[in-house]
Amino acid sequence: MSIILFGLNHRTAPLEVRERLTFPAATLEESLVRLTGLEPVREGLILSTCNRTELLAHTRNGFGDTAEVMRSFLASERGFPPEDLDRYCYRMTDREAIHHLFRVAASLDSMVLGEAQILGQVKDAYQAALKAKSIGTVLDPLLRKALGVAKKIRTETGIARHPVSISYAAVTLARTIFEDLSGRKILLIGAGKMSELASRHLVERGIGSVLVANRSLPRAVELAQKFGGEAVQFDRILEHLEQVDIVISSTAAPYPIIKYEDVVRLIRARRNRPIFFIDIAVPRDIEPRVNTIDNVFLYDLDDLMGVVASSRAEREGAARVAEEIVRKEAEAFHALVRALDLSPVIVGVRQRLDTIRAGEMERFRSRLSGLTDEQQRAVEEMTGSLLNKILHHPIRALKESVHHKDGTDRVRFFREVFGIHEPPAGGDEPAGSAPGTPGRGENDDPDRS
């Protein structure tokens, strides 16, 4: 049983690469169906956010084959040269993959340490996988455990005491541009979660006025009313850009909605009055070369990293506590997965040796014919007891192997010694639901812990 993770994040790939490799939410389930239709992938999950795209898979085959399949899948799905992926992507297996997933869910691997949004994004990825029926007896309990560990960390440590998000960092950047926001006018493009968070932070800091543009006008009206702002028509964005000082854009558009030529005309209409764009969308909403126009200042997600770094120190004490929780929980879950993987091995060894014992008993049956029925039963019990005693120490050593880094090699050696072959990739799962997890009911809540 193998758990494999293949992906990239804000540390390994620049924004121009990350935006090309994101999976739109509307097509995620279809992509999951295609992923799990590939050999040797048995279960799959895709986590795609503004800062990372990660594929998680369960397979019975070797890591190398599956990692290569996942690499080819990502390249094909997003139209990206597969040879270029190696410059940006990482591969993790079993213990390391479990530990990484727990860190991601707990926001320990986020651009903004302690931010709350990633937990919701992991939940969304989990729900998409459930709908696509792409996870089962291994990844389902793994995701549920990851969500539980994240909740535990947010409850038991101070990592979330001062809520921070990309939207918060964007507003912090706006305050560095204009020390006093009270007389400033800001246009929010997009009325999703990012924009709502930005609106809340802006209102708390006394922003002068907020305009909200969204493709769905009712949603723009709803958000604007919530924060005392004004909704505007999405197709009239360029007109309103002439009046505002700061633009924060966060839509799900697959292409830039503000082009270089638009801003060239805009800055003329503004008589060269400066305007600041903060683009927190992936893919980006504003063409990057807009930043080359005089009196136009454009910041994107990668630029926010400096803002984030300055607020990281105050949460690092809590992060150390959180890291230890993750380490212990990941090790415990890994041991459970490995123990589950041993069940068919142990059963196979017992069945194989018992078959040999029964065959030998039958071969010597004629020579035991002089024994009474009671004596023959005694011989049966004695050989069975002898078999159990012979297997006692090897099986105990096998179970303890789950705690060793070379445990996979030990299990493989055990299989070879006793002639126990791994089932084919398409074979049945071992009996049982999942490691230490009862079958999931239709109405079970993955948030409960």
Give the residue with greater pLDDT, 438 vs 297.
Answer: 297
**Of 44-58, 88-102, 208-222, 312-326, the least confident:** 312-326
Q: Is residue 426 predicted with pLDDT exceeding 50?
A: no
pLDDT at 62 over 60: no
- Is pLDDT at 206 greater than 60 in this prediction? yes
Say if residue 310's pLDDT is above 80: no
pLDDT in tens, 126-175: 999 999 999 998 899 999 999 999 999 988 887 766 545 677 777 777 77
User: How many whole angstroms separate alpha carbon 394 and alpha carbon 392?
Assistant: 6
The mean pLDDT of 87-114, rounded to a whole number, is 92
Amino acid of residue 7 = G
Which of 60, 192, 241 is closest to 137 using CA atoms?
60
Percent of the chain with pLDDT over 90: 44
The SS3 of residue 48 is strand
pLDDT at 216: 92
d(CA 415, CA 404): 17
Domain 166-305 = CATH 3.40.50.10860: no
- Compute and round to an integer the Cα radius of gyration of the chain: 29
With bands split at pLDDT 50, 70 and 90, how would you rate the model's confidence at 293?
very high
Band the pLDDT of 433: cuts 50, 70, 90: very low
Class of domain 2-163: alpha beta
> For residue 284, is pLDDT > 90?
yes
pLDDT at 89 over 90: yes
Assign 46 a pLDDT band (cuts: 50, 70, 90): very high
Judged by DSSP in three states, 7 sits in strand
pTM greater than 0.75:
no
Give the catalytic positions in this structure.
50
- For residue 405, the model assigns a pLDDT of 63
CB atoms within 10 A of CB 399: 14
- What's the pLDDT score for residue 439? 36
Q: Could you read off the pLDDT of 394-416 as tens digits, one per residue?
A: 878 777 765 666 666 777 777 78
Is pLDDT above 80 for 447? Answer: no
Provide, rounded to the nearest whole percent, the portion of the chain with pLDDT above 70: 85
Residue 200: phi, psi to the nearest 5?
-60, -45
pLDDT of res. 227: 83
Mean pLDDT taken over the chain: 83
The DSSP 8-state label assigned to residue 293 in this structure reads S
Other Cβ atoms within 10 Å of 141 Cβ, number: 22
pLDDT value, residue 157: 86
Domain boundaries, the chain: 2-163, 166-305, 335-418
Among candidate residues 151, 158, 142, 160, the one with its CA nearest the CA of residue 330: 142
CB neighbour list of residue 386: distance below 8 Å, 6 or more residues apart = none
Place of tokens 């089962």: 136
pLDDT value, residue 441: 36
Kindly write down the DSSP assignment for every residue of 81-132, as one continuous string.
Answer: -HHHHTTT-EEEEHHHHHHHHHHHHTTSSSSSTT-SHHHHHHHHHHHHHHHT
CA atoms within 13 A on the CB side of 369: 3
Whether 47 and 121 have beta carbons less than 8 Å apart is answered as yes
Average confidence (pLDDT) over 25-30 = 94
